[in-house]
Structure 1
Amino acid sequence: MHPSLDAIRLVAFDLDGTLIDSVPDLAAALDATLEAHDLAPAGEARVRDWVGNGSRKLVERALAFALGRDPDASALDAALEDFLGRYAEAPCRRTRVYSGVKEALEALAERDLILCVITNKPQAFIAPILATLGLDRYFDATLGGDSLSEKKPHPMPLWHLATHFDVAPSSCLMVGDSRHDIEAGRRAGFRTLAVPYGYNHGEPVAASAPDGLVESLGELV
C-alpha cells in the first residue's frame, strides 16, 4: 500500500475532480440555464475552473461571467433553482469514473478501511451518481455541501465523520483535487493526499503542499 495510508483507518474522498469527472453534465445543465435566461453559454473549459465551492457559487460565477458583473440575489436564486432542476434531470449522462478509482476503492475496502465521500455538491445528487457509476457499495458515509452548517474548506465535515466513526483525525486521510480539500484536511488534523487531474481553479494542486501526491488513485494499491 501507498505510504500515505500508513496507520490510516478512515479515508475521506472528494467527489468531483477526484473520483469522477462530472464537468460535462454540470456544464450542460449550466449552459442550458444560461441560455434559458438569454445569456451566452460558458462551455466546459470555463466550468472546469469554476467547480469546487458548491452549486450556488458555480452559478454565481457563471452569471458574473455572462453578465459582466455580479448578479443580484434574486437573479442568482432564480438561476440556481433552474440549474439544480436541470442537473437533477441528468446528473450522470456523461460523467465518468477516473482511471484507477475502482481498483483503489476495492483494495481499500478489502482492508476494512472506513471510506467516506465529503463533497461540496448538494447531498441529493450524491447517492444517485454513486449508484449509477457502481461506486455506492464502497462508502460507509457521504456528506454534501448542504449536509452541515459548514462545507470545505471548513474542517467541520471532516471532524463530523471522524467523530461519528470514533477515529482520531491523525488516523484519517483526506483525498482531493483542490486547495479546498487540502486546506480542510490540514485544518482538521487529517493527513492529505492530492491528485493533479481534477479541478483547482486553474492552479496546480501541488502548490497547496499536500502531504502526498499521486497521478492516479490506482497508485494506492
Structure 2
Amino acid sequence: MKTLRDNCQTKLVAFDLDGTLLDSVPDLAKAVQLTLAELNLPTQQQDNVRGWIGNGARVLVKRALSGDINGDIPKDLFDKAYPIFLKHYADNLNTDSELYNGVEDTLAAFKRAGIAMACITNKPEQFTLPLLKEIGLSQFFDKVVCGDSFEHRKPHPMPLLETAKFFNVLPEQSIMVGDSVNDIIAAQAAGFYSICVSYGYHGEDDVHQLGADVVIQHFSEIAQLLEKAA
C-alpha cells in the first residue's frame, strides 16, 4: 500500500456517490419496494437493499428480484421490472437520502483550496445529475462520470483514467474516495491513491481487507490526510 506522501502533489480527488457522499439507501429501497409491490412479488427490507448497492441500477434490480447477490433472473422479468423501478426511483430520488457528516464542509474546503474534484459513480446519468443538483453538491464537481458515461464502469479503471485525462493530471497525482471493493479495484488498476470510508455500502466485505491505501471513519479525515502529506 502507498502512503499519500509517496504520491506527487495531489491535484485531483474523485468521489464515489452512494455510500460515500450520500446515504441513498432509503430512497433506493423505497423504489425497490414499490417496484416489487407493482409486480406482486415479495418485498425486500432496507437492510437487504443496502447490501446490493454499488454495481449500478440494473444489477440492483436483478438482485432485488432474485432476493440474492447473484441476481439470476429471467430476462423477461427484468425487462418488465427495470422501467418500473426507473419510474419509482425518479419519483423518489431525494426524499429521504442524506449527506454524510462532514461532506459539504470538506468539499467546500477543497474547492477553496483549488483542488480539482470529480464524482465517479456507477449510478446512471439520468439520476446522478439531478440528484447532485438537489442535494447541493453540483457546484463542487468540475467533472461527473456516471455508470453509462463510458463503455466500462467501476471496477474497470476507464472512468478514473478518463477523468484524470480530462483534468490533464497523472494517475499518481489523483485520489479515489469510495466505500466498496469496486472503488478500490478501479483505483488500484488506474494507479490512483485509494481512500475507503468505513461507513458505506460494502456488503459483507471487511473494509480493512479491500486493499485500500487507507481506511477512514469520518469524511473530514480526507482533509487531514492531505494536510499531513503536504
Normalised by the length of structure 1, the TM-score is 0.95
Please say if residues 62 and 71 of structure 2, whose CA atoms lie closer than 8 Å, have aligned partners that are also in contact. Answer: no
Residue in structure 1 matching 2:88, options 86, 89, 110: 86
Question: What is the number of residues matched between the two proteins?
Answer: 218
The one-letter amino acid of 2:33's match is D
What is the match of residue 123 of structure 2? Answer: 121
Matches within 5 A, 1:102-141: 102-141=104-143
Give how far 1:69 is off. Answer: 8.1
What is the match of residue 219 of structure 1? Answer: 221
| 3-state secondary structure, aligned to 1:11 | strand
Measured in 2, the distance between the counterparts of 1:57 and 1:96 equals: 23
Give how far 1:201 is off. Answer: 1.7
Measured in 2, the distance between the counterparts of 1:210 and 1:199 equals: 15
Please say if residues 176 and 194 of structure 2, whose CA atoms lie closer than 8 Å, have aligned partners that are also in contact. Answer: yes
Measured in 1, the distance between the counterparts of 2:128 and 2:75 equals: 26
Measured in 1, the distance between the counterparts of 2:206 and 2:86 equals: 29
Please say if residues 12 and 173 of structure 1, whose CA atoms lie closer than 8 Å, have aligned partners that are also in contact. Answer: yes
What is the match of residue 196 of structure 1? Answer: 198
Give how far 1:4 is off. Answer: 4.0
What is the match of residue 149 of structure 1? Answer: 151
Measured in 2, the distance between the counterparts of 1:133 and 1:79 equals: 27
What is the match of residue 51 of structure 1? Answer: 53
* Sequence identity (%): 41
Please say if residues 20 and 179 of structure 2, whose CA atoms lie closer than 8 Å, have aligned partners that are also in contact. Answer: yes
What is the match of residue 184 of structure 1? Answer: 186
Measured in 2, the distance between the counterparts of 1:176 and 1:4 equals: 16
What is the match of residue 38 of structure 1? Answer: 40
Give how far 1:161 is off. Answer: 0.6
| 3-state secondary structure, aligned to 2:118 | strand
Please say if residues 4 and 193 of structure 1, whose CA atoms lie closer than 8 Å, have aligned partners that are also in contact. Answer: no
Normalised by the length of structure 2, the TM-score is 0.91
What is the match of residue 77 of structure 2? Answer: 75
After superposition, the C-alpha distances for 1:66-116 in whole angstroms (9 at most, x for unaligned) are 8x9831111112111110111011200000000011111011111111100
What is the match of residue 9 of structure 1? Answer: 11
| 3-state secondary structure, aligned to 2:220 | helix
Give how far 1:197 is off. Answer: 0.3
| 3-state secondary structure, aligned to 1:17 | coil
